[in-house]
Amino acid sequence: MAKKKLEDAKPGPEEAPEPAPEGAPPKEAEAIPAPKRRRARGKKPAKEEPKTATKRPKVPLKENEVHVYSLEGEVARNVELPAVFRAPLRLDLIRRAVTAFQANRRQPYGPNRKAGMRHSVRWSGKGQGVSRVPRIRGTMIGAQAPGTRGGRKGHGPKPWADWSLKINAKERAKARNAAIAALHETDLVARRGHRFEAGRTLPIVVENGLEEIDVEDLEHATKRGVEILRALGVYADVERAVRGTHIRAGRGKMRGRRYRTPRSVLLVAAKPDGVGRCFRNLAGVEVVSPAGLDAEILAPGGDAGRLAIFTESALEALRGWRP
């Protein structure tokens, strides 16, 4: 009996489906429902990334061309640099011109002719057993001699000394042109310590809208200048100048020049008066006109390659300059 029950419990062969009658439409296959995916705990479904505005494609640069940036820091178009930017890079002439500028600006100085000689002194003469030093009358206190306390200086500075240096006019012009050409050299600008965003063409050229800003209506003109420098990618250089500001060493700190600030961005504009209000309070920033360019402003200390910003009108003013 048990053996018979086991045989009955075994699964039999699958029964073949009954053939469909002739002329009947075929049955469709039943759709198998897809398994439901369970979301892991703590994980939210990924959100679709917002579509960003497509940026304007950059126009490929030709030789001796730079980008023209808008006030928002976007590339507007390209412009060819004037011929003066192709001048020979004479670093020796730049250093010589800057040294001459500094020497010619030096003012002569010297002590009063009667300084240290305002005592009635006399020498007691030989044979008194004392050194041959002029002494205040009636005392043994030495005075007036350079080796005594409060006496005159032995070889003090002469007010008639001439520290000026001569440099030829053609050499001065070549030094200025070479300093302008160095503004286009990215390696020199970076080696001088300036900070700027990678990919920016140097010198940075901005649209003339910078000169058309109505600073009289701006409540915070300097804040607007900071926004423009941030958009152009050069505000990091202003921060470098702020960190580098320190108290000057020596007696100069007591003579109206207590702090020393590194040079930062040079802004060249055809109308520097209006533009200067936005940038004059920033550390190390200078605003000049094209006519005010010289080797010392373009290469402070004789080191070529300053970070510079030109407006389009200021760049056009250099078209007639010979390299």
Report whether 204 contacts 116 (CB < 8 A): no
pLDDT of 19: 55
Q: Give yes or no for residue 32 having a pLDDT over 60.
A: no
pLDDT of 194: 97
Q: Give yes or no for residue 290 having a pLDDT over 80.
A: yes
Map tokens 């200048």 to a residue: 225
| Averaged pLDDT, 207-235 | 90
Give DSSP secondary structure letters for 124-172.
Answer: --TTSSS-S--EETTS--B-SSTTSTT---SSPPPTT--------HHHH
Identity at 255, one-letter amino acid code: R
Tell me, what CATH number does 186's domain have? 3.40.1370.10
Whether 301 maps to a domain, the answer reads: yes
Give the C-alpha separation, 263 to 107, whole Å: 23
Whether 200 maps to a domain, the answer reads: yes
pLDDT of 6: 45
- Average predicted confidence (pLDDT) for the chain: 86
Q: Where are the alpha helices (DSSP H) in 10-144?
A: 91-104
Give the best-scoring range by mean pLDDT among 25-39, 41-55, 98-112: 98-112
Q: Give yes or no for residue 228 having a pLDDT over 90.
A: yes
Give the C-alpha separation, 66 to 77, whole Å: 9
Instruction: Give the pLDDT confidence of 212-223 residue by residue, as tens digits.
Output: 888 777 778 999
How confident is residue 53, by pLDDT bands cut at 50, 70 and 90?
A: very low
Residue 241 has phi, psi (to 5 degrees) of -65, -35
Which has the closest alpha carbon to 153: 123, 109, 111, 119? 111
pTM of the model: 0.75
Whether 289 maps to a domain, the answer reads: yes
pLDDT of 36: 58
Whether 138 maps to a domain, the answer reads: no
Whether 69 maps to a domain, the answer reads: yes
List all residues 6 or more positions away from 276 whose beta carbon is below 8 Å from its beta carbon. 287
Domain count, the chain: 1
Q: What is the DSSP letter of 15?
A: P
Strand-pairing partners, residue 260, are 246
Q: For a pLDDT cut of 70, what percent of the chain falls above it?
A: 82
| Domain span including residue 285 | 65-92+168-246+257-316
pLDDT of 33: 57
Whether 298 maps to a domain, the answer reads: yes
| Averaged pLDDT, 38-49 | 56
Q: What is the DSSP letter of 182?
A: H
Instruction: Give the pLDDT confidence of 261-287 residue by residue, as tens digits.
Output: 999 999 999 999 888 999 999 999 999
Instruction: Give the pLDDT confidence of 160-173 residue by residue, as tens digits.
Output: 999 999 999 999 99
Whether 219 maps to a domain, the answer reads: yes
How confident is residue 54, by pLDDT bands cut at 50, 70 and 90?
A: very low
Residue 247 has phi, psi (to 5 degrees) of -75, 135
| Averaged pLDDT, 91-116 | 94
How confident is residue 42, by pLDDT bands cut at 50, 70 and 90?
A: low
Report whether 198 contacts 273 (CB < 8 A): no
Q: Give yes or no for residue 251 having a pLDDT over 60.
A: yes
Q: Give yes or no for residue 56 having a pLDDT over 70.
A: no
The first and second tokens of residue 243, run together, are 């960190």
Which range is least confidently modeled, 20-29, 59-68, 86-95, 162-171? Answer: 20-29
Cβ neighbours, 10 Å, residue 145? 19
Q: Output 253 or 26, whichever has higher pLDDT.
A: 253
Which range is least confidently modeled, 18-27, 122-131, 142-151, 244-253? Answer: 18-27
